[in-house]
Structure 1
Amino acid sequence: MSVLAWIAVGSLAAWGWLLLGQGFFWRTDQRLPRREAPPDWPDVAVVVPARDEAEVLPVSLPSLLAQDYPGRAEIVLVDDGSTDGTGELARALSGRYGGLPLRVVRPGEPEPGWTGKLWALRHGIELASAREPEYLLLTDADIAHKPDSLRELVAAARTHNLDLVSQMARLRVASAWERLVVPAFVYFFSQLYPFRWVNRPEARTAAAAGGCVLLRAETAERAGVPDAIRQAVIDDVSLARAVQRAGGSLWLGLAERVDSVRPYPRLADLWRMVSRSAYAQLRHSPLLLGGTVVGLALVYLAPPVTLCAGVAAHDAAAGWAGGLAWAVMTGTYLPMLRHYRQPLLLAPLLPFTALLYLLMTVDSAVQHYRGRGAAWKGRTYARPQAAPDR
């Protein structure tokens, strides 16, 4: 066979493995497990780190204040050095809508060795712990919850004795770029961390979605979080690994009651979201970066390239293998597009989206070596840590 045909066959073999051997990552049926109302509802503290979130807070915070929770719950919003009146707006929204009690605190600038979000979570958890809640709900300021969200999370945790229950919020898909990039973001995440593997007893794979994490307070203390992961930019996976190391049980799935309201209307907005932490996930390793580029090229770019080149060169083996690989890839992406209620005709465009992610990852490395590191909300972390393995 020609070199082109071997590349196409290699890509097809990779997709055969991904289809059957990677935890069925492409399926979207991992939702909150069967649950029953507990005989007594535990106390919960909702901790919301917020930095310059005045744009999204009028949508997200009222949804937390309106939680229909049978037990005692309160909200601690940590105003992380905002300059847009986030704290004052939060108090005004609480006065207007009522509901769960709200406390707003400002912890000051992070100490050396801390990322801003984890510094805010540390202060929020410390303040909330004074009232000894059984669970902590860690949720981002751009996340809106249905009125029964907290109740269902706690019921799932109690029913299955889970230490951490996390849901991947349904991200916004309104603009053309969001439709092209956002469902693929969740698809790639689930490929790296198959939800079924995370949810198995005695699982080795650990992951969480940082926008919505219900965490048993006792387990958080035993795991030493957030102090143990204070430098992590990819804090959700780091948190899950710390909980797992402490003997905690995890569950991760797709959300039905939790939505992100943060807009990413332009490609530049989505680019920053991905590139700020992509190289940190590769542990700032040029070797891992090179392997990632080659892997993405073989798995996602080779199928359409070998199909077209094979047809042009009358190379039947390359054309057939490339076409079959592209078909398998397209088929695995359809469930995620259905979950996001997007046109299924977007599925064959996944190679183009993968190319964008490849370029975002390379740009993340370039920014790192230029000394810019991960930049977010006016803060730059020159050398942020990846999620630690141990």
Structure 2
Amino acid sequence: MEWIGAGSLLAWVWLLLGQGFFWRTDVRLPKRRDPERWPSVAVVVPARDEAAVLPDSLPSLLGQKYPGRAEVFLVDDGSTDGTGALARELADARGGLPLTVSSPGEPEPGWTGKLWALRHGIALARERVAPEYLLLTDADIAHDPDSLRELVAAARSAGLDLVSQMARLRAVTFWERLIVPAFVYFFGQLYPFRWVNRPGARTAAAAGGCVLLRREAAERAGIPEAIRHAVIDDVTLARAVKRSPTDGGIAQRSGSGRRRAAGGPIWLGLADRVDSVRPYPRLAGLWRMVSRSAYAQLRHRPLLLLGTVLGLALVYLAPPVALVAGLAGGRPTVAALGGAAWAVMCGTYLPMLRYYGRKPWWAPLLPFTALLYLLMTVDSAVQHYRGRGAAWKGRTYPAP
């Protein structure tokens, strides 16, 4: 128990100082200024059975106060709840940016539904608008009226090929408050935003709910055809953009010693003007959200699954177990090590709780939340081997 407690404490000291300060929540849109000329933008929204959330999200896109030309393309991906018709009704009633609603039919083999819809929407936008930028946003994401303007200004000012914001997810019910802040916290731990935003760094990620992408960068990276099979499409998209060589890219040394051109610069951070309106009132909905892609994140490898389970147990479950066992067994060293690790854990979680407007007393519950995520990850693997992996809205996608 002493070795376990010591290992957990050392892991937390390393996470605190050596993992890109992932726990901080100050990575927001970079400094920006209005460009001399506002580029044209096509907003592409893939939507499948989204009638329940569309009245809260689509009007926010149509109402964008953008100085340049912008149009919205909603791609109805085989909805059965009247999503397309509702989108047209909302546009007729609210006005604002021009809206085009289309449907591409069922995906071709090898394509996930969302990327098939994006392919259709991007192709349509190229014909109608010839946009310089694409805003790829989910149907459950609501934007403040100046969201598009600020995204474009940030991309232009910093010369970025991709700007992505992690939308502030809804956290109203008990389960949302328990699961959602931890979801963003764990994502930042896997993909520290500061590492993502560092030119030349290998870490690449994006948040699929809000991605502003330069059209030339998309074409250079072969988006979306090059990632058509991806279940975790946002991270895969960011990798493709960051790793696709540019003519003027800085040469980077590869593992083989050869120099290669660096890909386009990307940026990822937390949102101030972008919110998800999708409710998850019960644990079951949140469980499906996580488990559908957790094993894909581990590249469907059993050894990575085993390592993840052991790692979660050591980092998140061992501290409270060591504290309780040490106190119960009269072993002060074990209790001190477990308590110290738990304290560091709670301290790193407080900034995310503040970002979501939650009280500090939620922080000690993080080990329990981590246990739920561990079980969701194992369930994701079980569902994969039962042939039901990556299931979402009536579709199941095999491992590529």
Q: Report the TM range for the smaller structure's normalisation.
A: over 0.9
Check conservation: 1:5, 1:318, Cα contact below 8 A. yes
Matches of 1:336 and 1:328, distance apart in 2: 14
Match among 266, 270, 273 for residue 257 of structure 1: 273
Provide the residue aligned with 1:282 in structure 2: 298
Instruction: Give the distance between the partners of 1:322 and 1:376, measured in 2 at CA.
Output: 39
Aligned counterpart, 2:119: 122
Q: Which residue of 2 aligns with 1:384?
A: 399
3-state SS, counterpart of residue 213 of structure 1: strand
The answer to whether structure 1 residue 108 and structure 2 residue 105 are counterparts is yes
CA distance in 2, matches of 1:10, 1:380: 39
Measured in 1, the distance between the counterparts of 2:233 and 2:56 equals 24
- Number of the residue aligned with 2:50: 53
1:260 CA displacement: 0.1
Tell whether 2:254 aligns with 1:244: no
SS in 1 for 2:273: strand
1:73 aligns with 2:89: no
Indicate the percent of aligned positions where both proteins have the same amino acid.
Answer: 78
- The CA deviation string for residues 49-102 of structure 1, in whole angstroms up to 9 with x for no partner, is 000000000000000000000000000000000000000000000000000000
- Contact 1:145–1:257, Cα closer than 8 Å, also in 2: yes
Q: 1:367 maps to what in 2?
A: 383
Contact 1:138/1:214, CA 8 A, preserved across alignment = yes
1:201: Cα distance to partner?
1.7
Pairing partner for 2:345 from 316, 320, 329: 329
Cα deviation for residue 316 of structure 1 reads: 1.6
Shift of 1:148: 0.0
Match of 2:230 in 1: 232
Q: Distance in 1 between matches of 2:28 and 2:135?
A: 18
2:119 aligned counterpart, secondary structure:
helix
Deviations 1:128-187 (A, max 9, x none): 012211000000000000000000000000000000000000000010000000000000
Give secondary structure in 2 for the equivalent of 1:77: strand
Q: CA deviation at 1:204?
A: 1.2
Partner of 2:285: helix, strand, or coil? Answer: helix
Secondary structure of the residue aligned to 1:27 is: coil
**Are the counterparts in 2 of residues 311 and 319 from structure 1 also a CA contact under 8 Å?**
yes
- Aligned match of 2:251: none
SS in 2 for 1:59: helix
Pairing 1:307–2:305 present: no
Structure 1 contact 5–315 (Cα < 8 Å) conserved: no
Alignment partner, residue 146 of structure 1? 144
What CA deviation, in whole Å up to 9, does each residue of 1:165-218 have, x standing for no partner? Answer: 000000000100000000000000000000000111212100000000000000
TM-score scaled to structure 1, two decimals? 0.97
Distance in 1 (CA, whole Å) between partners of 2:202 and 2:109 is: 31
Listed one character per residue, the Cα deviations across residues 239-277 of structure 1 (whole Å, up to 9, x for unaligned) are: 000001111110000000000000011000000000000
2:147 and 2:382 map into 1 onto residues whose CA distance is 40
- What are the within-5 Å matches in structure 2 for residues 169-248 of structure 1? 169-246=167-244, 247-248=263-264
Corresponding residue for 1:44? 41
Residue 9 of structure 2 is matched in structure 1 by 12
Matched, 1:96 2:97: no
Aligned partners of 1:376, 1:384: CA distance in 2, in Å?
14
Pairwise CA RMSD = 0.6
Q: Which runs of 4+ in 1 moved over 2 A?
A: none
What is the alpha-carbon distance in structure 1 between the residues aligned to residue 30 and residue 279 of structure 2? Answer: 29
SS at match of 2:237: helix
**How many angstroms apart in 2 are the aligned matches of 1:8 and 1:76?**
53
- Aligned residue runs from structure 1 range 351-366, under 5 A: 351-366=367-382
Instruction: Report the CA distance between 1:127 and its aligned residue.
Output: 0.6
Q: Alignment partner of 1:133: what SS?
A: coil
TM-score by length of 2: 0.95
Partner of 1:388: none
Counterpart residue number, 2:260? none
Q: Which runs of 5+ in 2 are unaligned?
A: 245-262
Report the residue type matching 1:384 in the other structure: A
Write the distance in 1 (CA, Å) between the matches of 2:266 and 2:98.
29
Give how far 1:384 is off: 3.4
Contact persistence 1:293–1:358 (CA under 8 A): yes
Note if contact 1:52-1:82 (Cα within 8 Å) is conserved in structure 2: yes
2:142 partner SS: strand
Tell me which of 283, 293, 298 is aligned to 1:267: 283
Which whole-Å CA distance do the structure 1 matches of 2:30 and 2:297 have between them? 29
Shift of 1:360: 0.1
**How far apart in 2 are the matches of 1:300 and 1:24?**
18
What are the ranges of 5 or more consecutive residues in structure 1 without an aligned counterpart? 386-390
**Counterpart pick for 2:314 among 298, 316, 319:** 298
Contact persistence 1:180–1:353 (CA under 8 A): yes
SS of aligned partner of 1:255: strand
Whole-angstrom distance in 2 between the partners of 1:165 and 1:203: 16
Q: Is the Cα contact below 8 Å between 1:166 and 1:251 reproduced in 2?
A: yes
CA contact (8 A) 1:198 1:250 kept: yes
Q: Give a deviation string over 1:304-363, Cα, whole Å, max 9, x none.
A: 000100111111211101000000000000000000001110000000000000000000
Q: Number of paired residues?
A: 381
Q: Aligned equivalents of 2:217 and 2:35: distance in 1? A: 19
| Cross-structure match for 1:21 | 18
